[in-house]
């Protein structure tokens, strides 16, 4: 599924609007705070939405500190509850969400080139994937550019961080402090501590700012809610978001402390403007009137002249902004991006799977114009005759179908190249956005693989699919030659479900759709009357015994994050491993990112567990694929990551999924 190419103009307009906190008197008030300090903070996390929003807002808007949030990744392997974007596209979307959240916090955002590869239970697994030395070098370059007196890490750098990449981010923060590059930070703090633990400072994030009209925690929460793809807009009243924050001083070059009132204690002149400029700013402060800033302009001119003499560009920018706001000439910078190409060339997917025995595959190339004028050219696809095309307006899209001949089980790589006049275009330029966010563009080569796989499906299948939070599984079902119909809320509530042999619920369907919860009984009745109901992985919203018999997930559901984890077939003679495809352990080779997520913890005897797998050091997990007879039909919970494996064209996963799809009572 692709992200929306076109959204209402209002969405872009909203994305471009500065916040009320940054306009008029509140904006002047914020600029005045920033002008009085040279305190700089580098705050390090692993992913977007890891950050402590309240503390960041307190630092930047409460204390006027210059804060840079370094998220090592863009969260490419997270969930997505608002669009069908995953992997690189999801990373782009989450980058935009963090950028919008940071606008509320009042901080800047940086990233490294490293990718979120999925959940890892320990840091050893993370360092097997990430090059630790290279990541540290990238983080050090950011540190040398930012020149922070204070480094803050959201995580400890220990096993209690709960995610190997979280732990890695904590280790990187400690390494930056222990062995700095060109710049030596003075203090290191780690967060995520409880009151009962050893801690040094509890930032007063609930302080009310009379000019801004809210507490810093409230502003931060509004920013944190911008992580909508991760469902954080639903956390407005969550106690988790309103708990006190605690930070521990882990390292200091300015002396130890058991307790502190400020992150900048004992920094002295490090966090202050030069003495001469401080005196000039005191003159400005005596004349500061938020309702009428003009009397402070002469004093501001003198302060700016002094700032220019310091040759400190950070100071010059701060005083210049304050003057511009006082004059009424300052305008917030608007970040925008253009496609930098008149044409996008893309296949309709990266991989298409063809069951062995078919003579051809149906694929398509999608051309999209970014030119304000009409364009025409020729398109060449590997092994296909050239085709002429013409697009008359910006935003117009043309879908060109192709039939690709195939033979034996193998991969057939394809490339697409468009020629307009004497220029060639062979890159997909894909807009990524969501309401309230600006538009960015994902670019990747126009390449496709047709993969012939030895896979069969049972005849006569008719599948209904309830989309959850977005996945590409219906496309995979169609590639297997099985008709699939997407079911609407009305279909689930009152439609004729008996026309289907099988109904699948998409990932996180019980979190995404109230109608699925409300009409769960109709789905169970479908199975009881002879149908096969398959429920893919669900988050703890599903932990309400929606199945025909009792089960539990708990709030800390298990997952198996090692894609090459050992697998044991618990019921070798079970039909799902025999027909229509004879499954062997080799079908679990070549999986990507993970085996599965949100396994059941306990279940009643009516359920039969079919597979066992586990990560290194993890107890055996049998709760990922269970089947139960229900009336005349079947109920199946299968938390294995089809939504990851099928778009990647993993052959064994297709064979397993085909058998799952083919299950009949």
User: Structural domain tally of the chain?
Assistant: 4
The answer to whether 662 touches 579, Cβ cutoff 8 Å, is: yes
Position 14 scores a pLDDT of 45
Six-digit token pair at 32? 């005045």
Rounded to whole angstroms, the Cα distance separating 576 from 457 reads 11
627 with 646, same domain? yes
Domain match, 280 and 310 both: yes
DSSP string, 48-86: TT-S-HHHHHIIIIIS--EEEEEESS--TTS--SSSS--
Query: What is the domain-level CATH number for residue 428?
Result: 2.60.40.10
Pair (248, 188) in one structural domain: yes
Residues 500 and 635 in one domain: yes
Angle at 482 between CA 478 and CA 486, to 5 degrees: 65
Is 9 a domain residue? no
Q: Is residue 8 part of a domain?
A: no
DSSP state of 20: G
Q: Are residues 299 and 388 in the same domain?
A: no
Residue 488, Cα to own-chain centre: how many angstroms? 27
Please write the tens of the pLDDT for every residue from 117-129: 988 889 999 999 9
Which DSSP category does 480 fall into?
A: T
Q: Which of 17, 9, 62, 71 is nearest to 36 (CA)?
A: 62
Please indicate, yes or no, whether residues 502 and 418 belong to a single structural domain of this protein.
no
Which tens digits make up the pLDDT trace of 600-618? 999 999 999 999 999 998 9
Q: What average pLDDT does the segment 569-584 reach?
A: 98
Whole-angstrom Cα distance, residue 403 to residue 27?
59
> What is the CATH classification number for the domain harbouring 651?
3.40.50.880
pLDDT beyond 50 at 421: yes
Taking all residues of the chain, what is their mean pLDDT, rounded to a whole number? 94
Question: In Å, how far are 74, 137, 169, 360, 363 from 132, measured between CA atoms?
Answer: 17, 9, 10, 45, 40
Per DSSP, the chain holds a count of helices (H) and strands (E) of 18, 32
| Domain interval for residue 441 | 343-453
Is 34 inside a domain boundary? no
pTM of the model: 0.90
pLDDT in tens, 623-648: 999 999 999 999 999 999 999 999 99
Indicate if 315 and 355 belong to the same structural domain: no
237 pLDDT exceeds 80?
no
**Residue 133, in any domain of the structure:** yes
Between 377 and 617, the more confident residue is 377
Is 234 a domain residue?
yes
Last residue of a domain, one of 410, 434, 453: 453
- Which one of 215, 246, 264 terminates a domain? 264
Statement to judge: residues 331 and 347 lie in one domain: no
Give the pLDDT mean for 514-534. Answer: 97
Angle formed by the axes of helices 164-178 and 132-146, nearest 10°? 60
Residue 14 lies in a domain: no
The secondary structure element, H or E, covering residue 126 is helix 123-129
- Check residue 192 and give its pLDDT: 83
Mean pLDDT throughout 332-350?
A: 92
Q: Which of 264, 286, 312 is the last residue of a domain?
A: 264
Q: Is residue 88 part of a domain?
A: yes
Q: Are residues 587 and 638 in the same domain?
A: yes
Do 510 and 566 lie in a common domain? yes
Question: Does 196 reside within a domain?
Answer: yes
229/370 same-domain check: no
What is the percent of the chain with per-residue pLDDT over 90, rounded to a whole number?
A: 88
Q: Can you tell me whether residue 276 is helix, strand or coil?
A: helix
CA 570 – CA 625 distance, rounded (Å): 10
pLDDT tens across 432-459, in order?
Answer: 999 999 999 999 999 999 999 999 999 9
Q: What is the CA radius of gyration of the chain?
A: 28
Shared domain for 511 and 654, answered yes or no, is yes
Q: What is the pLDDT of residue 236?
A: 64
Q: Name 609's Cβ contacts closer than 8 Å, sequence gap at least 6.
A: 570, 603, 622, 623, 625, 626
Tokens representing residue 435 in the block: 């309401």
Q: CATH number of the domain that 61 lies in?
A: 3.40.50.10320
The DSSP element (H or E) to which 413 belongs, if any, is strand 411-420
Q: How confident is the model at residue 15 (pLDDT cuts 50, 70, 90)?
A: low
Between the two ends of the chain, the Cα-to-Cα distance in Å is: 31
């Amino acid at each position: 599924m692709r992200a929306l190419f076109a959204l209402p103009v209002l969405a872009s307009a909203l994305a471009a609007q500065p916040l009320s906190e940054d306009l008029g008197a509140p904006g002047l008030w914020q600029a005045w705070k920033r002008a009085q300090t040279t305190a700089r903070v580098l705050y390090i996390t692993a992913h977007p939405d890891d950050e402590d929003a309240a503390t960041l807002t307190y630092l930047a808007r409460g204390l006027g500190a210059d804060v840079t949030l370094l998220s090592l990744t863009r969260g490419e392997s997270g969930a997505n509850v608002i669009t069908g974007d995953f992997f690189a596209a999801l990373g782009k979307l989450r980058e935009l969400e963090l950028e919008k959240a940071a606008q509320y916090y009042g901080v800047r955002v940086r990233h490294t080139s490293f990718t979120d590869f999925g959940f890892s239970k320990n840091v050893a697994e993370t360092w097997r994937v990430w090059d630790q030395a290279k990541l540290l070098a990238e983080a050090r370059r950011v540190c040398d550019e930012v020149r922070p007196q204070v480094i803050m890490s959201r995580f400890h750098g220990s096993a209690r961080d709960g995610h190997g990449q979280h732990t890695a981010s904590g280790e990187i923060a400690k390494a930056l402090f222990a062995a700095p590059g060109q710049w030596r930070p003075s203090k290191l703090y780690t967060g995520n501590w409880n009151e009962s633990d050893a801690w040094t400072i509890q930032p007063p994030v609930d302080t009310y700012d009379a000019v801004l009209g809210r507490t810093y925690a409230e502003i931060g929460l509004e920013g944190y809610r911008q992580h909508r793809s991760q469902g954080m807009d639903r956390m407005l009243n969550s106690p988790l978001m309103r708990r006190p924050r605690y930070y521990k001083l882990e390292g200091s070059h300015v002396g130890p402390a058991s307790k502190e009132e400020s992150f900048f204690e004992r920094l002295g002149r490090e966090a202050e403007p030069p003495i001469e400029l401080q005196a000039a700013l005191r003159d400005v402060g005596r004349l500061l009137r938020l309702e009428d800033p003009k009397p402070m302009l002469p004093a501001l001119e003198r302060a700016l002249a002094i700032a220019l003499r310091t040759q400190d560009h950070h100071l010059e920018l701060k005083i210049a902004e304050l003057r511009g706001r006082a004059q009424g000439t300052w305008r917030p910078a608007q970040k925008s991006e253009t496609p930098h190409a008149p044409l996008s060339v893309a296949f309709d997917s990266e991989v298409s799977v063809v069951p062995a025995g078919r003579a051809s595959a149906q694929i398509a190339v999608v051309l999209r114009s970014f030119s304000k004028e009409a364009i025409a050219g020729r398109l060449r696809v590997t092994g296909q005759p050239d085709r002429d095309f013409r697009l008359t307006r910006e935003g117009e899209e043309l879908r060109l179908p192709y039939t690709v001949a195939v033979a034996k089980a193998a991969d057939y790589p394809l490339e697409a190249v468009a020629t307009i006049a004497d220029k060639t275009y062979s890159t997909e330029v894909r807009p990524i956005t969501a309401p309230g966010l600006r538009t960015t563009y994902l670019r990747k080569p126009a390449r496709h693989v047709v993969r012939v796989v030895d896979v069969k499906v049972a005849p006569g299948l008719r599948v209904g699919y309830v989309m959850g939070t977005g996945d590409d599984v219906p496309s995979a079902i169609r590639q297997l030659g099985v008709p699939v119909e997407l079911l609407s809320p009305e279909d689930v509530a009152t439609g004729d479900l008996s026309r289907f042999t099988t109904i699948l619920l998409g990932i996180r369907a019980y979190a995404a759709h109230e109608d699925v919860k409300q009409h769960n009984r109709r789905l169970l009745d479908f199975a009881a009357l002879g149908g096969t109901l398959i429920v893919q992985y669900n988050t703890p919203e599903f932990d309400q015994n929606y199945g025909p018999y009792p089960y539990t997930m708990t709030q800390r559901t298990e997952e198996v994050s090692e894609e090459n984890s050992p697998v044991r077939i618990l019921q070798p003679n079970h039909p799902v491993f025999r027909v229509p495809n004879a499954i062997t352990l080799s079908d679990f080779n070549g999986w990507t990112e993970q085996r599965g997520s949100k396994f059941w913890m306990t279940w009643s005897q009516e359920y039969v567990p079919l597979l066992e797998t586990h990560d290194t050091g993890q107890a055996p997990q049998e709760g990922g694929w269970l089947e139960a007879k229900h009336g005349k039909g079947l109920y199946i919970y299968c938390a294995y990551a089809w939504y990851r494996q099928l778009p990647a064209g993993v052959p064994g996963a297709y064979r397993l999924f085909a058998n799952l799809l083919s299950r009949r009572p």
